[in-house]
C-alpha cells in the first residue's frame, strides 16, 4: 500500500516541477518524462496486483518512448533555430 503513495508522490512532484520550471524546455521535458515513468510504475503495480497481462504496459512504454523522441527532436530543432531553449524568448508562443 505504501508503494502506491510513493507512485502518487512521484507523479505529483513531477507535476509540481513541471509547473514551477517553465523557463527551460529541457527541464520541462525531463519533468514530463518523470511523470511518465511514475505512471508506468503505477500501471505496472496495478496490473501485477490484479494478475493481468503486462501487454498494455509494453504499449504504454512504446508510446512514451515515441513521445520522448518527438520532444527531443523538437528541442534540437528549436535550439538550432534560436540558439537556446529558453521558453520566454520565443515570440510565437505569445
Using CA atoms, how far residue 33 sits from 61, 78, 92, 93, in Å, is 11, 19, 25, 22
Domain range summary for the chain, segments of one domain joined by +: 2-93
Q: What is the pLDDT of residues 37-88, one digit of tens each?
A: 999 999 998 888 888 888 888 899 899 999 989 988 988 888 888 777 776 6
Nearest Cα neighbor of 54 from 64, 62, 39, 43 is 43
pLDDT at 94 over 60: no
Q: In the structure, what pLDDT confidence band is assigned to residue 15 with cuts at 50, 70 and 90? A: very high
Backbone angles phi, psi at 86, to 5 degrees: -75, 125
Outline where the chain has alpha helix (H).
2-20, 25-49, 55-82
pLDDT on residue 28: 85
The class of domain 2-93 in CATH terms is: mainly alpha
pTM beyond cutoff 0.85: no
Distance CA 51, CA 73 (A): 37
Q: In the structure, what pLDDT confidence band is assigned to residue 16 with cuts at 50, 70 and 90? A: very high
Amino acid at each position: 500500500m505504501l508503494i502506491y503513495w510513493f507512485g502518487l508522490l512521484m507523479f505529483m512532484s513531477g507535476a509540481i516541477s513541471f509547473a514551477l520550471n517553465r523557463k527551460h524546455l529541457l527541464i520541462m521535458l525531463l519533468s514530463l518524462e518523470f511523470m511518465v515513468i511514475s505512471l508506468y510504475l503505477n500501471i505496472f503495480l496495478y496490473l501485477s496486483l490484479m494478475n493481468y497481462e503486462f501487454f498494455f504496459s509494453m504499449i504504454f512504454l512504446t508510446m512514451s518512448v515515441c513521445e520522448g523522441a518527438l520532444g527531443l527532436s523538437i528541442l534540437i530543432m528549436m535550439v538550432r533555430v534560436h540558439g537556446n531553449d529558453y521558453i520566454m524568448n520565443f515570440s510565437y508562443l505569445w
